[in-house]
Structures are given as C-alpha cells and as structure tokens.
Chains A and B, each alone.
Chain A
Amino acid sequence: MNLIHSRPPHVRSHESNFSVMGDMVISLVPLYLMAYFFYGSRTLVLGAVSVITYTVLDFLCTFLSSRRVGILDLSPVVTGLLIPLMLPASIGFTPVIAADLFAIGVIKQPFGGLGQNIFNPAAGGVAFAVLTWSDSVFRYPVPIESLGNAAARLVSSPAASLRLGATPNYPFTDIFLGIYPGPMGGTGVLILLACFGYLVIRKTISWRPTAAFLGTAALAAFCFPRITTGRFQSVLYELTSGLLLFGAIFLINDPATSPKSQTTRTIYAAIAGVVAMIFRYLGAYEEGLVFAILLMNAFSLFIDMRYEKIRHRERRALYAEQQTETV
C-alpha cells in the first residue's frame, strides 16, 4: 500500500473537459446530418476536412510552442466543426482551410492556446473568410433542389432581401424546418432549438445568455423593422435568417471568450444582440454577427471587472459585520 498526499477536495464531479466538449460535438453532429440531407455529402467532406486541418494545426502549434500537449480534449474538433457550418454549402475548400489557418495562427495560438484566446477562433476564421471571399460567402445553394448537383444555381439569402427592404416569402413550416437558403448550419430552427435544449439539459451551457441575445435582437427588429409588412414578420425573418440563431447558441456561450459569471455573460449577450443588429442594419455585409461577436469579445474582461467592483462593494458590506462578530 503506497499512500500519497493530495489536496482537498478528495471527490470530484464526473464532468471533465472531455465531456463538456463532447457534448458540443454531439450537439453539432445533427446539424451536419441536416446539412447532408439538404445539400448532399459534400457538406460532410467539408466538415471532415475542416476538423482534420484544425486539429492537426492545433497540435502542431502546441507542440512547437513547447507547451504541454494534453490528451485530446475535443476542443479543436468543436471549432473545426463550427467553421464550415457558418459558411454556405457551396463554399470551396480553400476558404474553409484558410479560415482554419487564420483561426489557429492569428486568433488562438498566439495568445496561448486553449482557454487563453481573447477572440473566438471560429468567429475570427469566418470573419476572415467573409472579408476575403465576400462574393462567394453570401451566395447560397437552394436546399434539396441543389442535392447532388455540382453546378446548382446560387441565390441570396433572406438576410440579403431584408437588407434591401423586401420581405422574404417562405412558408412558416419551411422556416421552421430550415428549407430556405442560408449558411449550412444556420437555417434549421427546429434542429437548432433541439441542440440548444440538449446542451441546456446537460448543463453544458446556460439558457440565459442565449435568451438575452435573442431577446435584444428581437426587440431591435421589432422597434426598427426594415420591412414594411409588419413588426412580427420583421422579428421572425431577422431571427431566422443568417447566423443569428446559430451564433446565439454556439458563439455567445463559448467558454473561453465570454465573461465568466452568469450575470456578466447575460449582460454581454444582451449587448451583443444589439451590436449584431447594428452590424446588420449599417454594416457593409448582410450578416455581421461574427464581427459583433469579435467586437464584444474585446469587452468581456472589462464587463467582468466592472461587475467584480460592484460585487466587491456588496461582499464587503455583507461580510463586515459577520467578520467582526467571529473575531
């Protein structure tokens, strides 16, 4: 019997980095299946290429910077899966690989790798693709129609029509099931909400930041509609078009780049909702969500520090008498 010393606590929860990231992977796989159903097997190849590129680059950079190469905790897989889902199914392999390279080489590893990065790698990679290949990033294939057809016609998404002040005309069931042009993973409302429900039940993410983000975005869409057919139509199309719903679930709740406590994360998400809508209304592109996320990431430490000042005052007021009593 060989007894060792260890620090308390002597029991730990069953949750680990692996299980947290595994939950994210599990919630992203249905989106790929949906994309496969809508656009064919090319989407799966895109996903696989992105995951392999990102994982290999991540390991290489960690190894080259002589940091500990931990066991595979699936975090590169999550980002690798996220990047193609934010791009159209017709996107070439070059933009995806370039986005992976940018995310690793500029956004993630220079700051110290996993958990240390200031900006969201997936959002950063996609932002790079948007700026570099802006003509092909915002042209989408039509779901089901383009199945197996390499030279399918590309159309603009509802987000583009909203930008022109025109009401997109899709039946409600189509919007619910995601049968309208848009990013690979961003369209299926039903499937996205199911993924969200899974993550909330598993307690991997909290529902509050997502609700705050969608709430303020909906409020902005309700108060300042871009279309003339009604405020509720405006809310419906603004929330379901583009990446808004996808970002509210997978980008806002990114652990490393958002503020740390529930309250600050919710405040951050609420502001991000407004900023995303401002990017849509005034920005150069039809979808500015990734830029809004990147902008807000820069403020997350600031929000945490301000909140900590408030909590510091409260804690001092609360525990002052308690301490004098025990002394």
Chain B
Amino acid sequence: MPDFSNRLLARFAGQRFSYRWYSDIQLARQGIVLEQNKEPALSGGIQRICSRTLDHVPIDDLQEGDDIVTIARKAGIIDENTGRPLYLLLDRARNSGCRIIIADALDDEPYISSQLAPALEMTDQLVRGIELAKEAVGAESARIEIYKELGDSPVTIGENLGGVPVDRVGAGYPADNSLIQKHREEKASVFGACALIHLARAVDEKIAQTTVFVTVAGDGVTTSANLEVSIDKTAGELLRQFGLSDETSRVVIGGSMRGVTITDLDSTRVTAQTRGILAMREVFKDYNYTCIGCGKCDDVCPVGLSPYYLYKFVQAGRYSMLEDFDIDLCIGCGTCSYVCPAKLKIASEITRGKMELVQYMNAKKEKEQNEEVRA
C-alpha cells in the first residue's frame, strides 16, 4: 500500500487538477484557498523609497573576469524565500546538475505581492536575471511560477513574461509544499524573483543589493502598496507613510499566515527576507470556544498529519505519542489554525510541542548516559 500511494503521489504531486476524490490516502494535499486581498497593491506598481546613502551603491572589490556566482557573492544578494545567500544556492544548483531554473513569484499568502509585482513591473531585469542564472548554473530551460488565485485583482498575466514561460500553480496555500516533489523530479532549482532582479542589476549595473521589495498592507493602513525600500528603513517609518491607523492592534512582519508580530516599530528594520509589513486592526478576542472534534484540521493538513491528535497530545504532555504522530514533519504553515472553527491556536501549540519534544529527548538521552556511566 505505501508503494502504491507513493507512486500515485510521484505521479500527481503538484499537478493542476484536484485529486481530492482520491480520498486522503494521498498525503501531500493541495492546500486551502484563502481570501487574497492583494489589491490595490498588486496593480499599483512599485514605489521607490531609498535613503541617499543606500541608493545605487557600487560593488567594492569587483574585478574583471569575475564569474556570475562571484559577483552574486560580492554584491551580497540574499534569496528572499530561504534567507540564504544567492551565491550558495547558485553554487549548489551548479554542483547538483540542475536543469531548470525556476523564478519563484508565488506569493501564496494573502496581502503579499512583493514577488509578483516586481516580476510584472521589472520584467526585463527579471528575464536578464534568469538568463544569468541559467548561464551560471548551466541549466537548459527556465520558467516563472506564479499563483493562480489572484482574487479580485484586475491584473492579467499572459502565457509568458518577456519570453520566459509562466507556470500558473493552481494549488492552494501552502503552494510551495506541493511543488517540492515536482521540482525534485525535474531537477529544478528555485530562486526568488527579487533575488534574480538584484542579480541582473549586480552584473549589468555593478551595484550591490541595498534594497528589498516589501508589501505594506492590512486594514490598519489607509492604502496598500508595493515598495522598493533601502534596508535602513524601519517598519514604523514605512507604515506611517501609508497612514497607520491608531486602531491598529498588531503589526506583522512577513506574511499573514507565517509572519511574526512586532511591538517596537521604530527599531525593527526591514531585512532581505522581509516580504511584507502588515498592520491589522482585528483582535482575536478570546472566544472561549472549546474543541468540538470536527476534524477539519485533519482534512486540510498539507503534509497529512493529524493536527487534532497532535494538539491534544501536546496539551496533555504525552511526548512519546508525538513522535509516533510525526510532529517533526510539521511545516508550520498554520492551515490548521486557519480553518479551526473553535479558533484554537493549533499551529503554535504544535510548534511549542516540537520544541518541548527536543528538550524531552535530550533530557532522556542525558539520563540514559548518566545511568550507563554509573553502571
């Protein structure tokens, strides 16, 4: 049975059609469709907010004959998806015999469009970046991946952007999870679209990465927008520029599904990994609901875990069961918390359980070692 379902998965993972009908013996699921709320940021273009000192900074020690990977290293380009330096990713892709370059402009989280908007606005630079990456890695082809669900956005995207074919990923959130298998089979390497734009700039204009693309959105600001900001800007500075409301209760760095809240606006600067800054008014007041055991979290988990039982075991502190239920495979996407009708904090409880399990295992190991020494 496992063999069969694995083969089934290898065949269908990441494909466009929904295979919910296959019951859920398949494990990697398509995810859920969220309200997108990407407007008006996505169609509004990109505003540039840069300090004078950090605008068009040339690369210091550039020498003639540097190859693309070296330039990427010297320009200090960071991949915005993984937070790793781009030159490491390029290097790894080159060594592993990568055949396809994928420019990731997915933006599957609500509100965020800080990869898609630059890809649409700066298509020339993105295409140039893809070509450079292809050259550096030795890949044969390339494509741009975008998210199919754009909500009510009027933006239309053609079959290709500047000659590079566009792949519309039809999966729900989290889209990247269902694509891992497909990418591995194709020997594809994924690079963030923004990192590729910075690569094109570094090679052609010889400037280092000093700016990042962020989305400022949420109901706590008067309008949402995509920005290109220099990395000395703080979250408060950007939010106030867009009319930060006094009724804002939470400011989130990152996406609305995985981001973290901050309380000190003026000492939090944007980083290369910052994809969005969201200001939210709504307070999730304590609903005082209890779990009714509906099992909706079990049905939506994209890795095929059972969040219901994981949550119960974490709350009861039964660590031995957590291992059997594969808590380590949780990717922390937050889908279970999103669908929960009781508004329980399932995802964060499971994350807590994960950390406590590690501590528990370490303590257990230490105890065993001590006993061995004593014996």
Residues of chain A at the chain B interface (Cβ within 8 Å): 1-13, 15-17, 19-20, 68, 70-71, 73, 75, 113-115, 255-263, 265-266, 304, 308-319, 322, 325
Contact = CB atoms under 8 A, between A and B. Distances in A.
Contact of B295 (A7, A8, A259, A310): A259
A66 B257 CA distance: 35
B208 to A, nearest CB: 29
B251 A115 contact: no
20 contacts: A3-B250, A5-B263, A8-B347, A9-B334, A9-B347, A11-B34, A11-B256, A11-B338, A12-B337, A13-B338, A17-B342, A70-B290, A73-B289, A115-B293, A263-B23, A304-B309, A308-B324, A309-B324, A311-B304, A311-B306
B257 A318 contact: no
Contact of B343 (A12, A309, A315, A317): A12
B345 A3 contact: no
B60 interface: no
A314 B249 contact: no
B69 to A, nearest CB: 21
A7 B329 contact: no
Contacts of A256: 292-293
B contacts with A: majority SS: loop
A308 B289 contact: no
Given A311-B304, A315-B326, A7 B347 contact: yes
Contacts of A262: 23-24, 295, 298-299
B341 A17 contact: yes
A109 to B, nearest CB: 13
A1 B258 CA distance: 23
A311 to B, nearest CB: 6
A308 B337 contact: no
Contacts of A266: 23
A56 to B, nearest CB: 19
B338 A260 contact: no
B316 interface: no
A20 B334 contact: no
Given A260-B308, A315-B329, A4 B2 contact: no
Interface string B291-310: 11111101100011110110
Interface string B6-19: 10010000000000
A7 to B, nearest CB: 4
A263 B306 CA distance: 12
Interface stretch (B122-130, B188-196, B278-286): B278-286
B144 to A, nearest CB: 23
In the complex, which of the residues B2, B294, B329 has the most CB atoms of chain A within 10 Å of its own CB atom? B294
A contacts with B: majority SS: loop
Interface string B245-282: 01111111000111111110100000000000010100
A169 to B, nearest CB: 41
Interface string B85-103: 0000000000000000000
A209 to B, nearest CB: 11
Contacts of A75: 292
B1 interface: yes
A8 B289 contact: no
B52 interface: no
Given A5-B263, A7-B348, A70-B290, A263 B2 contact: no
Nearest to A313: B2
B341 A6 contact: no
B294 to A, nearest CB: 4
B16 to A, nearest CB: 21
Contact of A10 (B6, B23, B250, B287): B250
Contacts of A71: 287-288
